[in-house]
Amino acid sequence: MSNWWKTWLESAQRVISEREQQLNAMNVFPVPDADTGTNLRLTLQAAGSGHTAVESARAALLDARGNSGTLWSIWWSAVAGELTQDRDELPTQQALVEAFLAGASAMREALTEPVEGTMLSVADRLAEGTVTDMSSAVTAARQAVALTSSQLKELAGTQRVDSGALGFLYVFSVLAELYTGDSVTEEIDKDHLSSGEMPQTASSGRDSSAALEVMVSVQADATSMAIARSQLAQMGDSLSVALADSSADPLLWAVHLHTDDPGAVRQALEDTGTLSNWRTTAL
């Protein structure tokens, strides 16, 4: 199958779009801003603008929306980068499964404060040795999502799962369908979207004064970016820093942060390198 990633992303965007409002309503982490489904849909849309799998991943990372979109794009960027065969042709199951380790590692390394019971936990589960093909991968991902209700303290007593992890599962299950021929989206719906009416807002239970979400691309060398990362960690939370283009000179990075002082964040990054695609969204 040529351009398999386009087929996957187009189908995944449709699946997320159909469940966008429900995913938004389930959103409590890292802040209950009711945008998980929307952010995933918009990030998938951005990914569709690339002409190759690697370009798709880069486009997603540089135009990612929100925490969920950022984390998924980090995973996809790392996975796409591991596929050494003709990336327009459908990879073998073995090649794809082996690439999941890179995806999980990249996601964890990008986060300053990794939190279990989120999309990260699903990526970690996919990288385990028990996952040998796409069928076992879907099973593992579904199990990991189910566990988030007990892992993430914000979900205690709600009988709900993390919305970002669930969104990741939907996107991943569409990818798996290219190999297995079996759609499990309706089964996932029954597991997690049929438990009655969900509240439109909820408290995350976390203390945060952050008022804005900042997303920006930065061109800087690795040493300068490492210094900036330590500075940014003092300016807010939900910080992720991911390498978006290792061939760029200087290197191109994608930064995501929740902060109450975007001016200080911008100044720190301008002192670090060249900024582009600066975006802020109220939380």
Q: pTM of the full predicted structure?
A: 0.90
| Shared domain check, 237 and 266 | yes
- DSSP string covering 207-237, please? -----EEEEEEEE--HHHHHHHHHHHTTSEE
Query: Is 179 found in the same domain as 107?
Result: yes
Q: By residue range, what is the domain housing residue 271?
A: 212-282
Q: Is 146 within the bounds of a domain?
A: yes
pLDDT in tens, the chain (283 residues): 668 999 999 999 999 999 999 999 998 887 787 899 999 999 999 999 888 899 999 999 999 999 999 999 999 999 999 997 666 789 999 999 999 999 999 999 999 999 999 999 999 999 998 999 999 999 999 999 999 999 998 888 888 999 999 999 999 999 999 999 999 999 999 999 965 444 444 444 444 456 899 999 999 999 999 999 999 999 999 999 999 999 999 999 999 999 999 999 999 999 999 999 999 998 8
Q: Identify whether 206 is part of a domain.
A: no
Q: Are 246 and 219 in contact (CB under 8 A)?
A: no
Report if residue 200 sits inside a domain.
Answer: no
Residue 198 lies inside a defined structural domain of this protein? no
> Domain check: are 135 and 238 in the same one?
no
The predicted pLDDT at position 205 comes to 46
Establish if 23 belongs to a structural domain. yes
Query: Do 153 and 68 lie in a common domain?
Result: yes
Distance CA 209, CA 195 (A): 32
Number of folded domains that form the chain: 2
Residue 193, Cβ density class (10 Å: 0-12 exposed, 13-18 middle, ≥19 buried): middle
Check: CB of residue 19 under 8 Å from CB of residue 193. Answer: yes
CA dihedral for 51, 52, 54, 56, sign (positive or negative) = positive
40 plus 91 within the same structural domain: yes
- Residue 68 token pair: 């969920």
pLDDT, residue 87, reads 62
